[in-house]
Amino acid sequence: MAYAAHHDGLPVRRPLMKNIADGAAPYLYSAPALILIVTVMLVPLALGVSYAFRDIQLLNPFSGAFIGLDHFRALSQDQAFYRALRNTLWWTGASVFLQFLLGLVLALLLDKPFYGRGLAQALVFLPWAVPSFLAGLNWSWLFNPVVGPLPHWFYALGIMSEPSNILSDPQLAMWGPIIANVWWGIPFFAITLLAALQAIPRDLYEAASIDGAGPVQRFLSITLPFLAPTIAITILLRTVWISNFADLIIVMTNGGPADRTQIVASYIFTQAFKRLDFGYASAIALVLLALLLAYSMLIVILRQWLLSKD
Amino acid sequence: MRAKPILLVTAHRLAILAYIAFALFPLYWLLKVAVTPNDLLYSEGIRLWPSRASLEHFDFVLRHSAFPVFFRNSLIVSGSTAVIVTILASLSGYALSRFNFRGKYWLVALMLLTQMFPLVMLVAPIFKILSPLGLTNSLTGLVIVYTAFNVPFATFLMQSFFDGIPKDLEEAAMIDGATQFVAFRQIILPLTLPGIAATLGFVFTAAWSELLFSLMLISGNDQATFPVGLLSFVSKFSVDFGQMMAAGVLALIPACLFFLLIQRYLVQGLTAGAVKG
């Protein structure tokens, strides 16, 4: 490393070739990954962005012409899109909040050693390994009163007035995919938060309890500040990821009933594969991408601002 | 004074049990449906265990369906993807962890960008690019696509493992005359074995579950992966839930085994790297 040569304080003269080789090292290490990402993701992305300005319909051989901003004009009038946008907010907000909350509690429960912790940890993290569409199929089965127990349990508990399928109830349908998503996503938060918890130096807690700090005070003044960076980055990543995550909704409700569970990502899927209108689908995807980028920038700027304030 | 800890410990164990029940109950139900004979499927739909259990669905799926082919295809695709991604991500993760270079910022930004957009958007363009190369309807094409999709996150994962290993180790080796690459291969990589295991498992389960691109890029039954195969149980005359769930249970086995083995390293490795923003 050229950098290290300056760094150790001794002015070492090194052959030119070696300097060039050292300078190229990081690029060589990252080149294979970079080339693959550019050819398989960035180039198709650029192509996909260009589709947003073209009339691309899969079964229509006369399509393909540039039509400028027509898709976006149509989109601004599309009531189904606005409904999908509102549903996305609800779907993402509820899923991330519940996954985070339950994941944090689970991480705290697993933080201290106890008999059987290894086994408990392996079992509670298991849903993460279940393929998402299989999780969706399975949960729609569980919510079905003919073959699933959940409606009957809800009825017995008095939550429901009769054992019916919440997936076909327009008021409640969104809860189906949200519950499946929470079940599936708790392990992600629990794993990352548990890792962050275990990195907190133990003597801090001892010192605090010698000073007479109670458990709540220790949590607020030690645990939470240490976890804050991890919490910020995982919530950011998960929010973006869950807004794009349509598998469960497509498998469980297909956007229904009456579009009540249609989120933007599943709306894109419907446009592309049911109506085969790739141009319009790309335009919607581009708007979603812009919104998510804006959201991420906002979080990053907010974080910088908070850090600089300290 | 003694009553309080016992109360706390009991509450803690009960909470853990509640989490385990919540995590496992849907998987239990999957198994229950898979062993329920067809004639009892609806009449005993909500019983916790059927009055008569049978392995007929498993027998049918293993001997009379194309499922073993799907299973083999999935194993090939997920295994190759996991190995290639882990190699590429070790290299790029090492670059991000150990070097300060111009373009590092852009590399990270590019990788973050790939996590931002709906992948549905890429289906048509990727099909258009792979088609003339003869890579549609081929497992190789699928491996290439999955590798690209998984490299960014795997790179960040590997970087956090490398960050947990002190720099002095390879600096000492380099003073002894080793090149950085030799130091990387012989000293750093062996120390990162838990991280490598975690990345392998993570990518394997991700590739094992992928449905959309498999559905779009593969048209023949002999190249189909198991998620696509599972859907073929739906698209027949009627949905055969018993067989589908039996296939689902079988398909869960490798992913779950892999995950049970690596989840410990995932936590350990992320701890070592002290995941920070």
- A9-44 pLDDT, tens digit per residue, is 444 556 676 677 777 888 889 899 999 999 999 999
| ipTM value greater than 0.95 | no
Q: Does residue A280 sit within a domain?
A: yes
- Among A15, A35, A51, give the residue marking a domain's end: A51
Average pLDDT score over residue span A58-81: 82
Give the chain B residue nearest A52 (alpha carbons). B121
Residue A116 and residue A30 share a domain: no
Tell me the fold of B65-239+249-273: MetI-like fold (1.10.3720)
pLDDT band at B81 (very low <50, low <70, confident <90, very high): very high
Return the number of CB contacts < 8 Å for A and B. 268
Helix axes A175-198, B3-35, angle to 10 degrees: 130
Distances (CA, A) of B24 to A66, A125, A139: 52, 10, 12
Residue A296 and residue A175 share a domain: yes
Find the CB nearest B123 among A39, A42, A272.
Answer: A272
CATH code for the domain of A174: 1.10.3720.10
Residue A285 and residue A164 share a domain: yes
Q: What's the pLDDT score for residue A106?
A: 95
Our CA-based measurement puts residue B252 at a distance from the nearest CA of chain A, in whole angstroms, of 6
Residue A250 and residue A164 share a domain: yes
Residue A41 and residue A181 share a domain: no
Q: Decide if B26 and A183 are in contact by the 8 Å CB cutoff.
A: yes
pLDDT one-digit tens code per residue, B3-19: 668 888 899 999 999 99
Residue A3 reports pLDDT greater than 70 = no
Our CA-based measurement puts residue B114 at a distance from the nearest CA of chain A, in whole angstroms, of 7
Average pLDDT score, chain A: 85
Residue A310 reports pLDDT greater than 70 = no
**Dist. CA B174–CA B186, nearest whole Å:** 12
Q: What's the pLDDT score for residue A12?
A: 52
Residue A277 and residue A134 share a domain: yes
Find the CB nearest B122 among A48, A132, A293.
Answer: A48
Find the CB nearest B211 among A133, A198, A268.
Answer: A133
Q: What's the pLDDT score for residue B1?
A: 46
Q: Does residue A71 sit within a domain?
A: no
Q: Where exactly are the structural domains of chain B?
A: 1-54, 65-239+249-273
DSSP A254: T
Q: What's the pLDDT score for residue A108?
A: 92
Q: Does residue A222 sit within a domain?
A: yes
Residue A282 and residue A136 share a domain: yes
Worst-scoring range by mean pLDDT, A57-71, A240-254, B113-127, B160-174?
A57-71
Q: What's the pLDDT score for residue A196?
A: 83
pLDDT one-digit tens code per residue, A230-280: 788 788 888 999 999 888 898 888 887 888 889 999 999 888 888 788 889
pLDDT one-digit tens code per residue, B211-228: 888 888 888 778 888 888
Q: Does residue A174 sit within a domain?
A: yes
**Dist. CA A197–CA A187, nearest whole Å:** 15
Q: Decide if B118 and A125 are in contact by the 8 Å CB cutoff.
A: no
Taking CB atoms and an 8 Å cutoff, what residues of chain A touch B29? 138, 141-142, 148-149
Retrieve residue A282's tokens.
Answer: 């790309």
Q: Decide if A130 and B252 are in contact by the 8 Å CB cutoff.
A: yes
Residue A44 and residue A127 share a domain: no
Q: Does residue A59 sit within a domain?
A: no
Inform me whether the C-beta atom of residue A138 falls under 8 Å from chain B C-beta atoms: yes
Q: Does residue A69 sit within a domain?
A: no
Total of domains in chain A: 2
Q: What's the pLDDT score for residue A6?
A: 45
Average pLDDT score over residue span B74-91: 95
Q: Does residue A132 sit within a domain?
A: yes
Domain enclosing residue A22, as ranges: 2-51
Residue A10 and residue A126 share a domain: no
Q: Does residue A56 sit within a domain?
A: no
Residue A215 and residue A123 share a domain: yes
Q: What's the pLDDT score for residue A182?
A: 96
Residue A82 and residue A47 share a domain: no
Worst-scoring range by mean pLDDT, A274-278, B25-29, B64-68, B260-264?
B260-264
Average pLDDT score over residue span B259-268: 76
Our CA-based measurement puts residue A182 at a distance from the nearest CA of chain B, in whole angstroms, of 10
Q: Decide if A47 and B276 are in contact by the 8 Å CB cutoff.
A: no
Give alpha helix (H) positions in chain A.
2-7, 16-37, 43-51, 70-76, 79-111, 117-124, 132-143, 150-156, 175-198, 202-210, 215-218, 224-243, 247-252, 264-273, 278-309
Give the chain B residue nearest A197 (alpha carbons). B271
Give the best-scoring range by mean pLDDT among A8-22, A199-213, B16-30. B16-30
What pairs with residue A57 in β-bridges? A277
Residue A223 and residue A150 share a domain: yes
Our CA-based measurement puts residue A146 at a distance from the nearest CA of chain B, in whole angstroms, of 6
